[in-house]
Structure 1
Amino acid sequence: MPDTSEHIVIVGAGAAGLMAAREFARAGKRVTVLEARDRCGGRIHPLPTSRFGYPADGGAEFVHGEAPVTRGLLSEAGLSLQTIEGTRWSFDGTRLSREGRDNPHEAELHAALGDLNDDLTVAEFLRRHFAGDEYAPMRHAIERMVEGYDAADPERASTLALREEWMDGGHHSQGRVVGGYGALIAFLAAECCKHGVVIRLDCAVVAIEESTAVVVRCAGGEAIACDRVILTVPLPLLREIALPQAARELAAAAADIGFGNVIKILLRFSRPWWRGKTGDLADLTFLLSDETIPVWWTQNPSEHPVLTGWFGGPRTAALTGLNRQALIDAGIDSLATIFGLTRDDLERDLVAAEAANWAHDAFARGAYSWATPRTRAAQERLARADGTVLFSGEALYRGRDMGTVEAALASGLETAGLILQR
């Protein structure tokens, strides 16, 4: 008979929360998932197929690197992964050109990284080893990657945590889930329900109390008694939930883990007009620039006429006052400059648009985590499974691709495993 004597409450129905819930339920535990939103997925946010012509992702989109947990889950769900193909381009303010991967200082960079034993912030590493004018293009490229790709602050980001990424040029394989990440979340949620997990939506947790039992209090006034609570919410939300003293002291370690923001804009056009600018752009995947919305990508190898804009890191604070429409306008202006077009040219072909500044999302307060030189020690503290209030999620993942869906899934799996082994 299943052992339902222990009641586990999981706060957050994102990838980590659902993954942990399924593992507990499979082991016969009684599990309740409390989710503040009216949907599962968290920072995975599927958009309507009717608007974009396919299940577009308003939040997490890519599968990075090997991602063994993600790939295993996709196989179990009968979902497939599409590898991204094509060429990268850049705009230097004057012209478009293929993004070169050649770095004349690559050997020096790799040598300095290889000799690094004590961690430094990225900014300090560059100042210490590559301060000369001849290194300016490389410094700019590294800072752009740290801010844009990792959503991190070079003045705080760990060099050792990013070393492997730099050593392969930041070009490890990427793919997309066919059907979008929403399909994976739907599978996980269905699995949870099949195994008896109770998922409560529109239930924002405001406090956790400990006395003779653990009590989870929701914004609506409801109190739920349980034996153990696992918090899988984004790091900034830990400050907004009243916690017992021991858990509050533990949660303070999260200050040593970076958390970055992302602005994401999706523009659907009636036709892939960028392919006509030059024959080479027919194979475009990523486009980098220094415009207001600096990074763009296509759905290549799929032929959906959608361009996605991306702006990550601390500089997104400059756009904090822009609402959804103003962000869309900024994206259109950036594309117009890059391709030498007018706003009218672009708006004539525009079918649908969406924009999100994830810092404005009340249940995220940003996009994903990144490592500082003090992050690994903080993760070790937060990942402990020896209390009644525990922590899990992408921010606690100690592998290479921190801040990814893989990180969230792996952390949820690890947390459940640690508790079930006790």
Structure 2
Amino acid sequence: MSDTSEHIVIVGAGAASLMAARALARAGKRVTILEARDRCGGRIHPLPASEFGYAADGGAEFVHGEAPVTRGLAREAGLSVRTIGGTQWSFDGKAFSRESPRDAYHEKLHAAVKELTDDLTVADFLRRHFAGPEYARLRHAVERMVEGYDAADPERASTLALRDEWMNDGHATQGRIDGGYGRLIDFLAAECRKSGAAIHLGAVVVAIEESGGKVVVRCAGGEEQICDRVILTVPLPLLREIALPAAARTKAAAADDIGFGSVIKLLLRFKRPWWREREELADMLFLLSDETIPVWWTRQDQHHVLTGWFGGPRTAELSHLDPQGLIDAGLDSLAAIFNRPREDIARGLVAAAAANWAHDPFARGAYSWATPQTRAAQEILARADGSVLFSGEALYRGRDMGTVEAALASGVETAGLILQG
């Protein structure tokens, strides 16, 4: 007979939450999801297809590497994951190049990384092995990759955690879900409801208390849920904003040893793909530069959209800009890279969106990254002791921390811990 006596409240309705909720509800648990936003998905955020011609991803977009949980779920939902190809270009302020500034030091960098036995920060690694003036370009390139790709701070980021990425030059297979990640979220939310889970939107959790052997979850609007256990799936910075029981608060303190990065993402839709007019850039996928918005990528399909990306601690330099200010910075960056009048680029703009995820009150940033202390912190946070459990991309101990795959896998793991117990 199924167990309907245990009531589990899950805080947040992102990928980890919905994955855990579905497994628990299917096993007969009573599940209630409390989500602060007016939608499910969290840092997966589809934008209106009416504006971009497709359900553009304002948040998570790529499927990185093998991603077995993501791909399995996509198959279950009848969605296909399309592998994307194309070339990566760099712009050094004067010319376009297919070479990464790291290429000239490829063998030395790999040898130094391979020999590492004890972890140290990326900044310390560069100071130890590549301190001389002849390595200035290498240091700059590595720091920009750590900031841009991982949204991490080189002064805190773990070198061992990034080793695989460097060995593969950061280019594992990349894919996109046809129709975007939003369709995966819609499928999961429907599955949760079908299995009996309740999803409450607009429910901002402010406190979790233990009382008489039960747990009380309080929301800002006065709503409360009485349950047996709680799973917190909110982004790491939000853990500080929820009052927790003493034991859970002590456990949550371990999150300080996990990095959490900021990302600014722009989507610019144009009447025509003018960047393809340069013959050599016809199959461009990624474009790296040192402009204000440094990274750009294309869709290479009928949708003439350029996506701008700026990650890591230096995004604080643009924290004063509103979305329109960020769009303007993006147009300025493209004008400088392509040596075209800004007005010409702006004239062809059909739709634009900009998100500084650090400004999002229910995210306070984009995704997590590892410090040398992170693995120990994850072990503490992932334990199933007590009435408050933690789940989400930041707790994933596999290779691609900070991804949707990490969130989905963490949700599965957390549900498994409860069901085994």
TM range (shorter): over 0.9
Partner of 2:306: 307
CA distance in structure 2 between the partners assigned to 1:75 and 1:140 by the alignment: 41
Partner of 1:193: 193
Counterpart residue identity of residue 180, structure 2: G
1:226, CA displacement in angstroms? Answer: 0.2
The answer to whether the 8 Å contact 2:101/2:137 transfers is no
Say yes or no: does 1:83 pair with 2:83. yes
CA distance in structure 2 between the partners assigned to 1:381 and 1:126 by the alignment: 30
CA distance in structure 1 between the partners assigned to 2:149 and 2:343 by the alignment: 30
CA distance in structure 2 between the partners assigned to 1:67 and 1:128 by the alignment: 34
3-state DSSP of counterpart to 1:149: helix
1:215, CA displacement in angstroms? Answer: 0.2
1:134, CA displacement in angstroms? Answer: 2.1
Partner of 1:55: 55
1:99, CA displacement in angstroms? Answer: 3.7
Partner of 1:364: 363
**Stretches of 4+ moved more than 3 A in 1?**
99-102
Counterpart residue identity of residue 258, structure 2: I
Larger displacement relative to structure 2 (128-137 or 214-223): 128-137
Counterpart residue identity of residue 370, structure 1: W
Say yes or no: does 1:225 pair with 2:260. no
Partner of 1:243: 244
Partner of 1:167: 167
CA distance in structure 1 between the partners assigned to 2:308 and 2:284 by the alignment: 14
Deviations along 1:313-365, one digit per CA (max 9) or x if unpaired, are 00000000000100000000000110111121011110000000000000000
Partner of 1:110: 110
Partner of 2:95: 95
Partner of 2:263: 262
CA distance in structure 2 between the partners assigned to 1:109 and 1:100 by the alignment: 13
TM-score (norm 1): 0.98
1:129, CA displacement in angstroms? Answer: 0.6
CA distance in structure 2 between the partners assigned to 1:352 and 1:5 by the alignment: 50
Partner of 1:274: 275
Partner of 2:295: 295
Partner of 2:32: 32
CA distance in structure 2 between the partners assigned to 1:403 and 1:15 by the alignment: 12
CA distance in structure 1 between the partners assigned to 2:162 and 2:40 by the alignment: 31
CA distance in structure 2 between the partners assigned to 1:133 and 1:238 by the alignment: 42
The answer to whether the 8 Å contact 1:382/1:391 transfers is yes
Aligned length: 420
Partner of 2:121: 121
Deviations along 1:247-295, one digit per CA (max 9) or x if unpaired, are 001000000000000000000001101111x112111100000000000
How much is the aligned-residue C-alpha RMSD, in angstroms? 1.0
The answer to whether the 8 Å contact 1:292/1:330 transfers is yes
CA distance in structure 2 between the partners assigned to 1:143 and 1:348 by the alignment: 35
Say yes or no: does 1:321 pair with 2:341. no
3-state DSSP of counterpart to 1:266: strand
Percent identical pairs in the alignment equals 77
CA gap of 1:368–1:51, structure 2 versus 1, over 3 A, is: same
Deviations along 1:209-251, one digit per CA (max 9) or x if unpaired, are 0011100000101111000000000000000000000000100
Partner of 1:207: 207
CA distance in structure 1 between the partners assigned to 2:133 and 2:69 by the alignment: 43
Deviations along 1:116-145, one digit per CA (max 9) or x if unpaired, are 111100000000011122222221111111
Counterpart residue identity of residue 371, structure 1: A
Counterpart residue identity of residue 241, structure 1: I
Say yes or no: does 1:408 pair with 2:400. no
Counterpart residue identity of residue 223, structure 2: E
Partner of 2:346: 347
1:95, CA displacement in angstroms? Answer: 1.8
Larger displacement relative to structure 2 (115-124 or 94-103): 94-103
Deviations along 1:129-162, one digit per CA (max 9) or x if unpaired, are 1112222222111111100000000000000111
3-state DSSP of counterpart to 1:161: helix
The answer to whether the 8 Å contact 2:101/2:138 transfers is no
CA distance in structure 2 between the partners assigned to 1:210 and 1:118 by the alignment: 41
The answer to whether the 8 Å contact 1:328/1:354 transfers is yes
The answer to whether the 8 Å contact 1:288/1:295 transfers is yes
The answer to whether the 8 Å contact 2:102/2:141 transfers is no
3-state DSSP of counterpart to 1:217: strand
Say yes or no: does 1:156 pair with 2:156. yes
